[in-house]
Amino acid sequence: MANSHGLTSRIVKKQAAARKQAKNKKASYQVYIGNENPQTRKNMSYKARTHYFENKQNFPKKKLANKNIQTLIEQGIIDERGFFKTGKKKNFITKSMVDAKGLDFYGMPR
């Protein structure tokens, strides 16, 4: 077997050429394939994979400013029952899909 990482030789050559031209040598040696499975990696082009990895690293993490329930309600991030207004239908207070009364996001028993 020519290589143990599962990449074709033309991709490895492109990686080596990109590393030679890179200004930040340490960052250029990072593994860019992330947590994708080999089948997905084979179906994606080299350019798409590198763009995907760069975007993934540059994108800011979704993190709440603070965990105080009252301020989150005032900011409009969660409603009065504790459910997030955007994103998952998860309750911030109970940390599950139901509120304190056992009702889900739509007010139905779960």
pTM: 0.43
For residue 88, the model assigns a pLDDT of 84
pLDDT above 50 for 3: yes
- Nearest Cα to Cα of residue 52 among 62, 63, 64, 40: 40
Domain spans, the chain:
9-58, 63-110
For residue 58, the model assigns a pLDDT of 76
- Nearest Cα to Cα of residue 80 among 62, 61, 107: 107
* Average pLDDT of the residues of the chain: 78
pLDDT above 60 for 29: no
Residue 78: helix, strand or coil by DSSP?
strand
Task: Please compute the mean of the pLDDT values over residues 101-107 and round it to a whole number.
Answer: 91
User: Which residue in this structure is represented by tokens 């200004």?
Assistant: 23
For residue 12, the model assigns a pLDDT of 79
Helices (H), 34-68: 38-43, 46-58
Over residues 36-71, the pLDDT tens digits come to: 566 666 667 777 778 878 877 777 677 887 889 999
Over residues 72-93, the pLDDT tens digits come to: 999 888 999 999 988 888 999 9
Please state, in angstroms and rounded to a whole number, the distance separating the CA atoms of residues 89 and 83: 6
Task: Say if residues 96 and 90 touch (Cβ distance below 8 Å).
Answer: yes
